[in-house]
Amino acid sequence: MASLQPVRGTHDLLPDDFARHAAVIDTARSVSRRYGYRETAPPIFEFTEVFARTMGETSDVVSKEMYSFTDRGGEGITLRPEFTAGICRGVISNGLQQNLPLRVFANGPVFRYERPQKGRQRQFHQIDLELIGAPEPRADVEVIAVAWDILQALGVAEKCRLEINSLGDPESRAAYREALLAYLEPHRAELSPDSQARLERNPLRILDSKVERDREIVADAPRFGDYLGADATAFWAEVQDGLTVLGIPFTVNPRLVRGLDYYTHTAFEFITEALGAQGAVIAGGRYDGLIEMLGGPHTPGIGWGGGIERLAMLADAAAQPDRPVALVPLGPAAERRAWTIGHDLRKAGLAVDEAFKGNLSRRLKRANKVGARFAVLIGDDELAAGKATVRDLDDGSQAEIAFDALPGRLGAAFGDSA
């Protein structure tokens, strides 16, 4: 018999955990909507080529971390390791190039086979934002501003710092690649095996190595900013100016590179140390060549992904569920009347909780346990009078309220306390 524990790298989202996740998603959805982003939901799995082609065969994600398999039809399928490639595939598949610029928001599970760690599992969850079809630097500023506003709305912005860098345009990238190769070649034997392999295929990835000796070597490597052409320099300056105008604090990190092949120009990460080891909670960048890699026309884009688990852990307080109204009927006739009262209260938008058995004391204990704001007591006297005894569980006061008036009176009371 298989173990009844969840598979390593997965975990159950119990109600309290789910409430925290929902708070992150709802906040991100609300903020992004104010900027004109509409929600989308790409498939959880795609043809493997969608990710292998765009993320690069030499990337850690493609070579080591993807959950790929052959389905019963013989097709190579991969559970999505990130959102961007699938969303851009959807732009092509659905002919959305006529609707540019396209602003979309998404959320859901993603899958990477890696060592489970705090805030990162093999099945984890992300919020994702993409602005497709806008080549202007203002687009970069906008997507970073959305992320900043989300962090502020969650109450965690002061725990994060924004690091940004420019990866330049293709011409700048080519010039820098040659300079980096010339610097790294004499250190070839000292590099880790992975970095030695990348030296031939994609030396820029060595800048992102987590191996200590690699990091020591690249500490004195040439800086990307010294190889930016005139156009890339102007673009980079406008992004920094836009962030300054909006009052979004940032630090230029010349060693910041994104781990995927399709990034150009702006790369950024919101980083925190509040979860122990340093880690990014939102990260992204510009990917002007991605849709072209997938076989579509040249289409600029920029976006980011954010780890819901990490953001939920970082948030000051968990999402508080709606405080319910507790129904406390005593006797069969009262229980029958409570059915209709509860139905009317729920139609009015109120959360309602009712224990199915127990005396008055036990039912009131449950009301306190679930955090109810009011207890609606219904017994023989209340049925005869057509009024419920409503107890405010915060201050202990009581009032008699006609059954038909309960939705309006209690709804107003919750509104006053909001």
Whether residues 131 and 43 share a domain: the answer is yes
Residue 239 lies in a domain: yes
Residue 6 lies in a domain: no
Residue 107 lies in a domain: yes
Question: Residue 318 has what pLDDT?
Answer: 47
Whether residues 274 and 386 share a domain: the answer is no
Range with the largest mean pLDDT of 11-15, 133-137, 207-211: 133-137
Whether residues 254 and 374 share a domain: the answer is no
- Name the band, by pLDDT with cuts 50, 70 and 90, for residue 399: very high
- Of 171-185, 300-314, 330-344, give the lowest mean pLDDT range: 171-185
Question: Residue 98 has what pLDDT?
Answer: 87
Give the single-character DSSP code of 44. Answer: S
Residue % of the chain over a pLDDT of 90: 58
Are 91 and 130 within 8 A, CB to CB?
no
Residue 224 lies in a domain: no
Instruction: State pLDDT tens for residues 224-268.
Output: 888 899 999 999 999 999 999 999 999 999 888 765 656 789 999
Per the structure, the complete domain to which residue 83 belongs is given by 15-169+229-314
- What's the CATH number where 381 sits? 3.40.50.800
Question: Residue 354 has what pLDDT?
Answer: 86
Question: Residue 388 has what pLDDT?
Answer: 94
List, edge to edge, every strand of the sheet that includes 387-392.
352-354, 325-329, 374-378, 387-392, 398-402
- Of 31-35, 65-69, 107-111, give the lowest mean pLDDT range: 65-69
- For the cut 70, the answer to whether the pLDDT of residue 321 exceeds it is no
Question: Residue 244 has what pLDDT?
Answer: 97
- Of 46-55, 58-67, 124-133, 330-339, give the lowest mean pLDDT range: 58-67
Looking at 262, 289, 314, which one is the last position of a domain?
314
Question: Residue 255 has what pLDDT?
Answer: 81
Instruction: State pLDDT tens for residues 44-84.
Output: 999 998 988 766 554 556 657 888 989 999 999 999 999 99
Task: Round the average pLDDT of the chain to a whole number and report it.
Answer: 89
Domain count, the chain: 2
Question: Residue 204 has what pLDDT?
Answer: 81
Residue 9's SS3 state is coil
Prediction pTM value: 0.84
How many Å apart are CA 137 and CA 151, to the nearest integer? Answer: 22
Instruction: State pLDDT tens for residues 265-299.
Output: 999 999 998 887 668 999 999 999 899 989 999 99
Residue 311 structure tokens: 């953001």
| Interaxial angle between packed helices 84-93 and 48-55, expressed in degrees from 0 to 180 and rounded to the nearest 10 | 110
Number of Cβ atoms within 10 Å of the Cβ of 163: 19
- Name the band, by pLDDT with cuts 50, 70 and 90, for residue 141: very high
Whether residues 309 and 160 share a domain: the answer is yes
- For the cut 50, the answer to whether the pLDDT of residue 139 exceeds it is yes
Residue 413 structure tokens: 């009371």
- For the cut 60, the answer to whether the pLDDT of residue 40 exceeds it is yes
Whether residues 249 and 398 share a domain: the answer is no
- What's the CATH number where 98 sits? 3.30.930.10
How many Å apart are CA 393 and CA 401, to the nearest integer? Answer: 16
In b/e form, how buried is each residue of 271-292, taking b as 16+ CB within 10 angstroms? bbeebeeebbbbbbbbbbbbbb
Whether residues 376 and 259 share a domain: the answer is no
Report how far Cα 21 is from the mean position of its chain's Cα atoms: 9
- 57 vs 182, which has greater pLDDT? 182
Tracing tokens 């409570």 back to the chain, one arrives at 338
List, edge to edge, every strand of the sheet that includes 76-79.
45-47, 76-79, 68-70
- Name the band, by pLDDT with cuts 50, 70 and 90, for residue 97: confident
Number of Cβ atoms within 10 Å of the Cβ of 251: 11
Question: Residue 135 has what pLDDT?
Answer: 95
Question: Residue 199 has what pLDDT?
Answer: 84
- For the cut 80, the answer to whether the pLDDT of residue 169 exceeds it is yes
Question: Residue 232 has what pLDDT?
Answer: 93
Looking at 273, 292, 314, which one is the last position of a domain?
314
Q: What is the DSSP string of 222-264?
A: PPGGGG--HHHHHHHHHHHHHHHHTT---EE-TT---SSTT-E
Are 372 and 353 within 8 A, CB to CB?
yes
